[in-house]
Structure 1
Amino acid sequence: MDSNTQRELYQQMVMIRTYEETILREYHADKKPVFDIGAGLIPGEMHLAAGQEPVAAGVCAHATEGDSVTATHRPHHFALAHGVEINAMTAEIFGRVDGLGRGRGGHMHLFDPKAKFSCSGIIGEGLPVAVGQALAMKRRGTNNVAIAVAGEGAANQGAFHESLNLAALWKLPVIFVVEDNDWGISVPRSQSTSVPSNAVRAAAYGIPGVRVEDNAVESVYEEAGKAFERARNGGGPSLLEVSTLRLWGHFEGDAQGYRSDLEGVPGRDPIPTYEQTLRDARVIDDSFVEQTRSEAVKRVEAAVEFAKSSPEPDPSTAGDYVFA
């Protein structure tokens, strides 16, 4: 891997982490002294992706204009890595009229037609959608690729198997990405899944399946590159599972009493690990690190200010933008 790509992967990961840390700050700022999920500038549930940056950075580094991403209820890292407009995305999270969905959807329902990005609070919802997108791409004769993201828990949904079956049968250009962060909310994979890795399930559909260990962004990049090449060249779908890490709770307010691994979690943070790797290889230095962090903070804070300055939806428009 060339040094420019390594630096870009690092920058993307820092950008995502900066965003999640800032949303975390804003989400909890006015939910004290007693946590109230419905209070504050950002009401409702919040699922943050700190620790899972390598998956989005490594996969989306190969995406080009016209490629699509369907993400999960934990969507910010893939949205940013895929080029969703940060100001409109942040305004949507704050429930403001300048948001992607005019403030109607919130953070679990980000939809950006220009970037071809969507997500949903329904587990596994994006998998068949991605298959449909890939079918359209193939019929139009493009070389675009649909990326379907799911958690390891969603791989036990019927929609997962139905989607892999059709994508394989029709040789569609879709990449199924499974983020294995060890926990389906509070249930460990070992208590919900009959196989040690979802990657082995690819064999049932006659498609390649690979698991990337250690939350390593360069390994994700390498394996995703193979899947993109296969899809663009008419080879059909691939399944990529990444062993990643959920640094924080399933949702904000999650006490995580079910986790026995919390003490060791900070030491598994992928960003300082990758930063040290690049420092040792003399790919980055103090100046580059400081500049990367400074630029990320500047961009994210500007997006937050944009969101806060956007008006809230007028209650009289509650019936707008609905089917009936």
Structure 2
Amino acid sequence: MSMKNITSSSDFILLGLLINSQAPGVVFALIFAIFVVAITTNMVMIVLIQIDSHLHTPMYFLLSQLSIMDTLFICTTVPKLLIGMVSKEKSISFVACGIQIFFYVTMIGSEFFLLGLMAYDRYVAVCNPLRYPILMSRKVCLLLAAGTWFGGSLEGFLLTPITMNVPYCGSRNINHFFCEIPAVLKLACADTSLYETLMYICCVLMLLIPISIISASYSLILLTIHRMRSAEGRKKAFTTCSSHLTVVSIFYGAAIYTYMLPQSFHTPEKDKVVSAFYTIVTPMLNPLIYSLRNKDVTGAFKKIFARCSSAQKVTNSDG
């Protein structure tokens, strides 16, 4: 039997997030709670933006895309992690590992581009408000959003086949809680330096493009805010931009550590903590950051809640 057939028919073993945890029940409950909150808050954001006409703007359309990405992102890694924590089944098939790699790489790449696009949206809103309806029309938004999904999936289609075609003939134990590319490549029995260099260049490019857009957009935004005479205008501009900058700092900081820092900075324990942060915690934080600091979103939620309460009272009185 060829090496390729041996590889493709063998399962990997995911060692998990905390191998020697003293309180696995507490860790499971915490991760499960974060998962439920992340799914719930992102779905609420998607529904609110869809049904409230006041939120039918380019900014909230892009926020709905972010919520969709975060929902798919956390569903790619956490269910398998939770199953592994409550059962002795730690294995993941070769095909399932490849699928997991494709989806998490696609979501990361798509979110990179989307965050850059959101910075551009804020630049147009603050610096060119009169041209905003034209520059960020519905058609333009749909094309730009489609471009973010295409860019992310392109990275997934590029990196996944290369990763899965590397020969794995040694240990099958992945010291991680999901099939993250750097952790999987450590099991390769061939020289992967060329591929790692290619992946590094690809990730740098994927980061540089949106980071350049974000840096240029916020530099121009700060100049515009500095020239504003209205204190209320300055406050509104800072409020709309600060939430996005918070999300950008969290997400890009974790990505830069994982994919751009030299191997001397990495240990399996650090890698898993950072990965847990951007794959589990960040999808929960994003909708909370945008909703808790956004009067439009909280106002829409209160209106929907009031409507549901009124409908419930009517139903009870009729009964």
Q: Tell me if TM exceeds 0.5.
A: no
Superposition TM-score, scaled by structure 2 size: 0.31
The structure with the largest strand share of the pair is: 1
Superposition TM-score, scaled by structure 1 size: 0.30
The structure with the largest helix share of the pair is: 2
* RCO higher in structure (CA 8 A, sep ≥6): 2
